[in-house]
């Protein structure tokens, strides 16, 4: 009897399974309406079902031949949803409402006739959403993104020194959608070029962007989960858009093939990411996890970082060496690459065209963490250095665990975010993140000061060397700067000369005749200014800027003018005609006239996250909301973004010292072990600060290995040669010669390799 009853029950279940889809009727817009883009109008419908409607999805399209674009997902069947109308002017728009029941039966209806979307009289440039469309996964194309706090259950709470969750919370990536400076900038961008905020939001909150909450493009529809910025899922579900057979996870081939051809990225940049629509997390290791996990070499490559750290304005297309022009407005760009579109940020391209992007990388133990031999090559090597620890609670201990601190140079904003989001963020990791940023800045450059005779007086010669893999400073240019503060005193300690003075009370940098400020200034060309009716020259209107007025930031090791010209990153200095930096130059030299009474000079390199001029611009230009005033008030209340000292050098001298400086001491070099079976250590003593380079030469005189070590301070230093040549191959046994150059000094020692 029990078996019969079970059979009848199963049969009854099959016979009465619900197969009837809901019935849907779109009420509005249903034809002939006219809506202004960016205005809010209700989409209304009636959806009924023989059981119950469990969810409603809404789509729209702007042409009869265009694909449907999803604009809302999993709505309650309320019969109405307020649509912030997409800024895509058209006379051929329709909406489509799809209702589903508990058995996933779907019923739908669409507008009976076409309706119109108009472009309102807003903005300075006549842009729309179409101007800022980028390839990659489009909104609602990647499923649901998990809240970061859920990841923290396994990836945090056990060791704050190395665990991913704690350290990530202190990064600006985690706070990219809480940053009040970003939102103040976003408002001005929308005022200048409507729709441009879409380009910004796709990197500052990729989870929010892909969940459809980037419309309206001023960010007012973002939810609480979106404020976690980049979050975990956007990175760990990222797919390498350039598929490599046998290297990329095989699952990625189907994901890329499913994208429309026009949405398949061919480059890394401007938020052109592809996301796995399934909850499969990717990383560099084979792991056993409670969620699907794929091994992805992409997550060890700088290309991943390039996704959001090469940013272009797609409105402007390159027409010459330094010339860019606006294309047709209200239209998608034709080409999406850093060589063609106007550069807003080129950190990834700067690295890509440096010595860091080589098989051997650059010897930089101060950045390398556990990296073998102290060499770094990728973005992750410096900004996610290898440490010893566990990636999750209960996981294996590794000596190459990437520290999820993602430290950059923003020392100021983390503590502000702790103030404005109490209860939402943890102030402890934010304070730790600010401290790490200062530490990163202090490792990023070297300063060396010497004095020279100049007539009956002296001059200070200050050399600043860039130790990073990109320009210094790099990243988003507006308000970000670095400068030299030089102070000379007489024998009694009285200041007799000063350049680069900063007024801490007013937040103002005094621009004297000798000041050297390293910065990038974008601007509006006279041609575009005439067309838009705005002023030309340097400006903070980044969405309108179409020219580079100044960019004297110090390039990295391996820089060449030709390579940097290809992506619009070549130095520009209106005060210095010709090449601002020679090929291979990763340093700058500045001179300062000193009075005859000078006996001590101090040169200090300062870095500032944002300037008074930029903060005041954001306040005074905003005519839409209070974001600019809010940012100004936070700036005033938080020490006006006072600069931090990156590094400094000083010199006490007499006239006699100047005439004979640097001639009495000698360069010292010893090598051990020698003979050697493998690695060999070169121990040096530098008599004075100098740029150091090392070469290894075989008996035929052929150079097999070379390494520039940049500017080094006077005193002892060590360098380890691992026995590899410039191609990364073991050199054969034999006799070699190690040659060290330190400034004008040179010394050679024999090395026997067994």
| Domain co-membership, 735 together with 610 | no
Classify residue 738: in a domain, yes or no. yes
| Domain co-membership, 45 together with 113 | yes
Look at residue 94 and tell me whether its pLDDT is greater than 70: yes
Question: So what's the pLDDT on residue 576?
Answer: 82
| Domain co-membership, 593 together with 736 | no
User: In whole numbers, what is the pLDDT of the chain averaged over residues?
Assistant: 92
Q: Compute φ and ψ for 636, nearest 5 degrees.
A: -65, -40
Classify residue 150: in a domain, yes or no. no
Over range 361-368, report the average pLDDT: 91
Measured CA angle at 18 (ends 12, 23), to 5 deg: 155
Look at residue 9 and tell me whether its pLDDT is greater than 90: no
| Domain co-membership, 644 together with 707 | no
> Using 50, 70 and 90 to split pLDDT, how confident is the model at 389?
very high
Look at residue 15 and tell me whether its pLDDT is greater than 50: no
Supply the DSSP string of 477-545, one letter for each residue: -TT-EEEEEEEEE-TTS-EEEEES-EETTTTEE---TT--EE-EEEEE-HHHHHHHT---EE-S-TTT-
Classify residue 508: in a domain, yes or no. yes
Neighbours of 582 (CB within 10 A): 10
Q: Can you say whether the dihedral through the CA atoms of 602, 608, 613, 615 is positive or negative?
A: negative
CB half-sphere exposure, 477, CA atoms < 13 A? 30
Over range 721-733, report the average pLDDT: 87
Residue 58 to residues 22, 24, 298, 561, 566, Cα–Cα distance (Å): 15, 12, 34, 51, 43
> Using 50, 70 and 90 to split pLDDT, how confident is the model at 664?
very low
Nearest residue to 308 (alpha-carbon basis) of 346, 339, 337, 265: 346
Residue 644 to residues 67, 465, 601, Cα–Cα distance (Å): 51, 17, 19
The separation between CA 38 and the C-alpha centre of its own chain, rounded to angstroms, equals 29
Domain with residue 44: its CATH number is: 2.60.40.10
Classify residue 742: in a domain, yes or no. yes
| Domain co-membership, 557 together with 706 | no
| Domain co-membership, 98 together with 29 | yes
Q: How far apart are CA 739 and CA 706, in angstroms?
A: 9
Over range 696-703, report the average pLDDT: 81
Classify residue 745: in a domain, yes or no. yes
Question: So what's the pLDDT on residue 728?
Answer: 86
Look at residue 13 and tell me whether its pLDDT is greater than 90: no
pLDDT in tens, 512-563: 999 999 999 999 999 999 999 999 999 999 999 999 999 999 999 999 999 9
The residues, any chain, with a CB within 8 Å of residue 640's CB and separated by 6 or more, are 504, 506, 507, 612
* Cis status of the peptide bond prior to 734, with omega within 30 of 0: no
| Domain co-membership, 466 together with 485 | yes
| Domain co-membership, 504 together with 618 | yes
| Domain co-membership, 748 together with 612 | no
Over range 365-392, report the average pLDDT: 94
Look at residue 572 and tell me whether its pLDDT is greater than 80: yes
Neighbours of 679 (CB within 10 A): 12
Question: So what's the pLDDT on residue 98?
Answer: 98
| Domain co-membership, 620 together with 502 | yes
Q: Could you list the residue range(s) of the whole structural domain that residue 573 is in? A: 444-474+481-518+553-660
> Using 50, 70 and 90 to split pLDDT, how confident is the model at 662?
very low
Over range 58-84, report the average pLDDT: 97
Look at residue 41 and tell me whether its pLDDT is greater than 90: yes
Q: Give the SS3 label for residue 60.
A: strand
Over range 628-652, report the average pLDDT: 97
The 3 state secondary structure assigned to 151-163 is: HHHHHCCCCCCCC
- Domain ends where: 100, 118, 136? 118
The answer to whether the CB of 455 falls within 8 A of the CB of 446 is no
| Domain co-membership, 649 together with 729 | no
pTM, 2 dp: 0.86
| Structure tokens that stand for 233 in this block | 């899922």
> Using 50, 70 and 90 to split pLDDT, how confident is the model at 3?
very low
- The owner of tokens 């024998």 is 491
| Domain co-membership, 587 together with 455 | yes
| Structure tokens that stand for 485 in this block | 């503060």
Q: How far apart are CA 239 and CA 141, in angstroms?
A: 13
| Structure tokens that stand for 6 in this block | 């079970």
Nearest residue to 681 (alpha-carbon basis) of 466, 445, 365: 365
Question: So what's the pLDDT on residue 144?
Answer: 86
- Domain ends where: 90, 118, 146? 118
pLDDT in tens, 708-721: 888 787 778 888 89
Classify residue 304: in a domain, yes or no. no
- Domain ends where: 628, 660, 692? 660
Supply the DSSP string of 389-418, one letter for each residue: EESSTT--EEEEEEPTT---S--SHHHHHH
Q: Give the best-scoring range by mean pLDDT among 252-261, 657-666, 682-691.
A: 252-261
Over range 192-210, report the average pLDDT: 96
> Using 50, 70 and 90 to split pLDDT, how confident is the model at 43?
very high
Look at residue 7 and tell me whether its pLDDT is greater than 70: no
The answer to whether the CB of 478 falls within 8 A of the CB of 188 is no
Question: So what's the pLDDT on residue 321?
Answer: 83
| Structure tokens that stand for 597 in this block | 């009474």
Question: So what's the pLDDT on residue 2?
Answer: 38
Q: Report the DSSP beta bridge partners of residue 587.
A: 465
Classify residue 587: in a domain, yes or no. yes
Residue 483 to residues 391, 440, 501, 517, 521, Cα–Cα distance (Å): 39, 17, 10, 4, 14
> Using 50, 70 and 90 to split pLDDT, how confident is the model at 16?
low
Look at residue 700 and tell me whether its pLDDT is greater than 80: no
pLDDT in tens, 455-467: 889 999 999 999 9
How many separate domains does the chain show? 3
Classify residue 336: in a domain, yes or no. no
Q: How far apart are CA 680 and CA 674, in angstroms?
A: 7
Q: How far apart are CA 311 and CA 477, in angstroms?
A: 11
Domain with residue 683: its CATH number is: 2.60.40.4070
598-630: b (≥16 Cβ within 10 Å) or e = bbbbbbbbbbbbbbbebbebbbebbeeeebbeb
CB burial of residue 498 (10 Å; 0-12, 13-18, 19+): middle
Q: How far apart are CA 599 and CA 458, in angstroms?
A: 10
The answer to whether the CB of 536 falls within 8 A of the CB of 524 is yes
- The owner of tokens 């090559």 is 377
Percent of the chain, pLDDT > 70? 97
* DSSP assignment letter at 90: E
Nearest residue to 464 (alpha-carbon basis) of 649, 592, 600: 649
Look at residue 58 and tell me whether its pLDDT is greater than 50: yes
Question: So what's the pLDDT on residue 684?
Answer: 86
């Amino acid at each position: 009897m029990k078996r019969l009853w079970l059979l009848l029950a199963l049969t009854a279940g099959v016979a009465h399974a619900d197969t009837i889809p809901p019935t849907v009727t779109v009420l509005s817009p249903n034809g002939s309406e006219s809506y202004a883009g960016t205005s809010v109008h209700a989409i209304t419908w009636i959806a009924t079902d023989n059981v119950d409607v469990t969810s409603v999805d809404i789509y729209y399209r702007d042409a009869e031949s265009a694909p449907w674009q999803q604009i809302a997902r999993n709505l309650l069947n309320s019969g109405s949803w307020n649509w912030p109308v997409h800024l895509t002017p058209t006379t051929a728009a329709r909406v489509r409402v799809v209702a589903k029941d508990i058995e996933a039966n779907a019923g739908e209806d669409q507008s009976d006739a076409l309706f119109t979307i108009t472009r309102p009289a807003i903005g300075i440039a006549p842009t729309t959403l179409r101007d800022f469309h980028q390839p990659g996964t489009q909104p609602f194309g990647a499923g649901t993104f998990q809240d970061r706090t859920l990841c923290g259950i396994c990836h945090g709470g056990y060791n704050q020194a190395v665990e991913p969750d704690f350290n990530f919370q202190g990064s600006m990536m985690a706070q990219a959608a809480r940053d009040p400076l970003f939102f103040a900038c976003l408002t001005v961008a929308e005022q200048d070029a409507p729709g441009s905020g879409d380009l910004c939001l796709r990197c500052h909150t990729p989870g929010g962007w892909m969940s459809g909450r980037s419309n309206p493009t001023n960010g007012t529809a973002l939810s609480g989960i979106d404020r976690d910025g980049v979050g975990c899922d956007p990175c760990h579900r990222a797919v390498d858009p350039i598929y490599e057979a046998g290297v990329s996870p095989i699952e990625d081939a189907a994901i890329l093939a499913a994208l429309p051809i026009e949405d398949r990225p061919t480059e890394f940049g401007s938020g052109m990411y592809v996301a796995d629509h399934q909850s499969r997390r990717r990383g560099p290791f084979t792991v056993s996890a409670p969620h699907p996990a794929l091994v992805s070499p992409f997550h060890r490559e700088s290309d991943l970082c390039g996704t959001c750290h090469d940013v272009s304005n797609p409105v402007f297309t390159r027409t010459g060496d330094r010339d860019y022009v606006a294309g047709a407005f209200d239209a998608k760009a034709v080409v999406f690459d850093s060589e063609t579109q106007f550069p807003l940020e080129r950190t990834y391209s700067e690295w890509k065209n440096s010595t860091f992007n080589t098989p051997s990388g650059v010897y930089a133990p101060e950045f390398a963490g556990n990296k073998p031999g102290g060499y770094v090559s990728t973005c992750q090597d410096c900004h996610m250095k290898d440490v010893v620890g566990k990636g999750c609670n209960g996981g294996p201990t590794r000596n190459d665990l990437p520290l999820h601190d993602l430290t950059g140079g923003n020392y100021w904003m983390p503590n502000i975010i702790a103030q404005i989001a109490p209860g939402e963020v943890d102030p402890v990791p934010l304070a730790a993140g600010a401290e790490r940023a200062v530490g990163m800045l202090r490792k990023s450059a070297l300063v060396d000061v010497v004095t020279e005779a100049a007539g009956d007086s002296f001059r200070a010669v200050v050399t600043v060397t860039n130790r990073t893999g990109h320009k210094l400073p790099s990243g988003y240019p507006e308000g970000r700067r670095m400068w030299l503060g030089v102070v000379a005193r007489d024998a009694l300690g009285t200041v007799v000369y000063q350049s680069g003075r900063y007024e801490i009370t007013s937040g103002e940098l005094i621009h004297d005749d000798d000041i050297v400020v390293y910065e990038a200034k974008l601007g509006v060309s006279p041609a575009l200014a005439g067309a838009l009716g705005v002023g030309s020259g340097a400006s903070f209107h980044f969405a309108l800027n179409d020219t580079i007025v100044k960019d004297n930031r110090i390039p990295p090791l391996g820089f060449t003018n030709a390579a940097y010209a290809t992506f619009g990153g070549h130095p520009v200095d209106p005060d210095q005609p010709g090449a601002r930096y020679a090929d291979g130059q990763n340093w700058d030299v500045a001179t300062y006239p000193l009075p005859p009474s000078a006996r001590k000079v101090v040169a200090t390199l300062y870095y500032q996250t944002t300037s008074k001029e930029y903060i005041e611009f954001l306040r005074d230009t905003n005519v839409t909301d209070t974001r600019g005033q809010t940012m100004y008030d936070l700036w005033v209340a938080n020490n006006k973004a006072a600069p931090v000292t990156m590094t400094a050098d000083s010199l006490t001298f007499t006239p006699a010292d100047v005439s004979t400086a640097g001639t009495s001491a000698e360069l010292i070099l010893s090598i051990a072990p020698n003979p050697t079976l493998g690695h060999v250590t070169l121990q040096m003593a530098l008599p004075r600060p100098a740029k150091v380079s090392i070469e290894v030469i075989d008996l035929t005189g052929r150079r097999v290995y070379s390494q520039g070590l940049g500017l080094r301070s006077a005193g002892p230093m060590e360098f380890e040669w691992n026995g590899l040549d410039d191609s990364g191959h073991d050199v054969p046994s034999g006799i070699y010669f190690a040659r060290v150059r330190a400034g004008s000094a040179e010394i050679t020692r024999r090395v026997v390799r067994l």
